[in-house]
Amino acid sequence: LTAGAAGFRDFRVQVDPAGVDRFFQNNQLAAFSRVVGAPRALVLTLPAGENDARYLVDALAELGLTAEVAPPSALPISVAALAEYDAIVLNDVPASALSPARMRALQSYVRDLGGGLIAIGGANAYAPGGYFQTPLEETLPVDMQIRDQQRIPQLTIAYVIDRSGSMAALSASGIANIELAKEAIIRSIDFLQATDRAGVASFDTDGSWIAQPQPVLDRLALQSLVATLRSGGGTDILAGMRLAGTALMQDPSQLKHIILLTDGGASDRGLVELTRELFEQHDVTTSVIAIGAFSPGVLQQMAEAGGGNYHVADDVTTIPTIFAQETVLATRSYIVEQPFVPQGGVPSPIMQGIDALPPLFGYVAATPKQTAQVILRGPAPFNDPILVAWQYGLGRAVAFTSDATARWAAEWVAWDGFADFWAQTIRWTITEGASANLEARVVMQGDGARVIVDARADDGGFLNGLTLETAITPAQGDPLRLTLQQVAPGRYEAAFIPENEGAYLLRLNGVTADSSEYNLTSGWVLSYSPEYSTSSAP
């Protein structure tokens, strides 16, 4: 049997007896092994960016880190399947390229399995990539919104929503398309500044306002109006676009943007001409989100004529993410492109041995979270975060808001410290998988089980007062997170109820009052009930 790559490996053996079998329940048994090897990183990048990812992959290979490059769609949805990687790198990946299920798996991988996550910026990442109010934003050490309202021009967005009968169709997740549209608008309104303006227009055989363009002061009232949107009727896109366009021509905001969402099926007469007129004569931009597998046609031509973007939502669950992405792009404020040399912040092992940095030529603006460590900052006057790190659950996450390509990091990819910087960044996120200070076992107690951990200091004394957490992950299913309680000197316990037979991955993280950290990766097997053992069977 070949163990394969490093990581936690579970095995299952099944016996099919040739003769009479009185108890099929004891025909299979699971086991596990932890294969030790060189650290493995999974680098996720868009197909168009695979060539740019070579700088990073080559740098990691130079220092003994194995890196596998894959598109975002290859990220496993199963949390247990991610355990074979020590770290996962998002290389300028938009949230719309990751389904909500994949983002939740990635979040659990860091929080519950103690995995490492490194997000690298670019024009498709962070706020411009639609990370706002997603599991990615929760996991990363930066918030997507810029808090300084003075640096963002006033924006008015008109949402033009198809409410025809076909919008009542259910997505694969069982949610109606019209409901996803409402969720998308509500998330987009959350991102807007209080000084911005928003309006919601809808159309079937005619156009009507759900909410007239108004200041985003009372978000809840505006979002309550959005919730009244209902599907039914025909499809007249031009009626909705005329309604929104007429209002935005007279709007006082510096920036004016229309987001059109439709599943098509309407006359294309006058649509391209109207969006071109709005853009060229009134500075109103238009982006189009098409539901379904559209071939390029009038909807794409509308976006091009309107100076906006065209999105095809093959997976309709990504619609809220696309709306968030469009809201950011409409502000034109989050991508900062200018030469600068990053300035040092708090000391970090990531920067060990690195005394000078080359210039960068751009980054995505973001806001560091309160408990995050800002290691590098951008230029004055905003001093935006460039490199930020934090502990998230059992794992660690790093945000680098510039890129790792020849666009913004042209001087970095040729820098002799490039490999050291990225290797040290990834190694910082990889928490140790074994510790001589912790010993863990699981014992069955009736229908339940108890995880017991004995903790000792390096000198052999008891480790007391630990904040000790564990995640218990089955081969199939979601992790169970537990906080262990100290029950005796150096001993910690927690009870749980296992659901299925098989091997479980145990990940433990303990922190002392002085922030010393202890980690352990182990396993446990839930076997069949003792009543089916050969020694006790009648």
Question: For residue 495, how many C-alpha atoms fall within 13 Å in the half-sphere facing its CB?
Answer: 6
From the centroid of its chain, how far is CA 99?
A: 9
How far apart are the C-alpha atoms of 527 and 443, rounded to whole Å? 12
pTM listed for this prediction: 0.81
What 3-state DSSP class applies to 377?
Answer: strand
State how beta strands 480-488 and 491-496 pair: antiparallel
How far apart are the C-alpha atoms of 458 and 347, rounded to whole Å? 26
What 3-state DSSP class applies to 235?
Answer: coil
Q: Give the 3-state DSSP-derived string for 141-207, with helices as H, strands as E and coil as C.
A: CEECCCCCHHHCCCEEEEEEEECCHHHHCECCCCCEHHHHHHHHHHHHHHHCCCCCEEEEEEECCCE
From the centroid of its chain, how far is CA 326?
A: 17
CB 385 within 8 A of CB 366: yes
How far apart are the C-alpha atoms of 181 and 183, rounded to whole Å? 5
How far apart are the C-alpha atoms of 338 and 31, rounded to whole Å? 55
The residue to which tokens 């004016």 are assigned: 256
* Residues near 105 by beta carbon (within 8 Å), at least 6 away in sequence: 75, 76, 77, 78, 79, 82
Preceding omega of 213 cis (within 30 degrees of 0): no
The CB density around residue 232, as the number of other CB atoms within 10 Å, is: 12
CB 437 within 8 A of CB 428: no
Predicted confidence at residue 21, as pLDDT, reads 55
From the centroid of its chain, how far is CA 481?
A: 20
Q: What is the residue type of 335?
A: I
State the Cα angle at 231 between 227 and 236, rounded to 5°. Answer: 120
For the chain, the helix, strand and coil percentages under 3-state DSSP, each to the nearest 5:
25, 35, 40
How far apart are the C-alpha atoms of 505 and 511, rounded to whole Å? 20
Per-residue model confidence as pLDDT tens for the chain (538 residues):
455 555 555 555 666 666 555 554 554 554 545 555 567 899 999 987 677 788 888 888 877 788 889 999 999 888 878 888 889 999 999 999 998 999 999 999 999 888 999 999 999 999 999 999 999 999 999 999 998 777 889 999 999 999 888 888 877 778 888 888 999 999 999 999 888 999 999 998 889 999 999 999 889 999 999 989 888 778 889 999 999 999 999 999 999 999 999 987 778 889 999 999 999 999 999 999 998 655 558 999 999 999 999 998 878 888 999 999 999 999 888 999 999 999 988 889 999 999 899 999 999 999 999 999 999 999 999 999 999 999 998 899 999 999 999 899 999 999 999 999 999 999 999 876 556 789 999 998 878 899 999 999 888 889 999 999 998 988 777 888 999 999 999 999 999 988 777 788 888 888 888 888 888 888 888 765 555 455 444 4
DSSP state of 327: H
Predicted confidence at residue 6, as pLDDT, reads 54
How far apart are the C-alpha atoms of 484 and 441, rounded to whole Å? 13
- How far, in Å, are 168, 249, 287, 338, 436 from residue 329 at the CA level? 29, 20, 10, 18, 50
Predicted confidence at residue 502, as pLDDT, reads 79
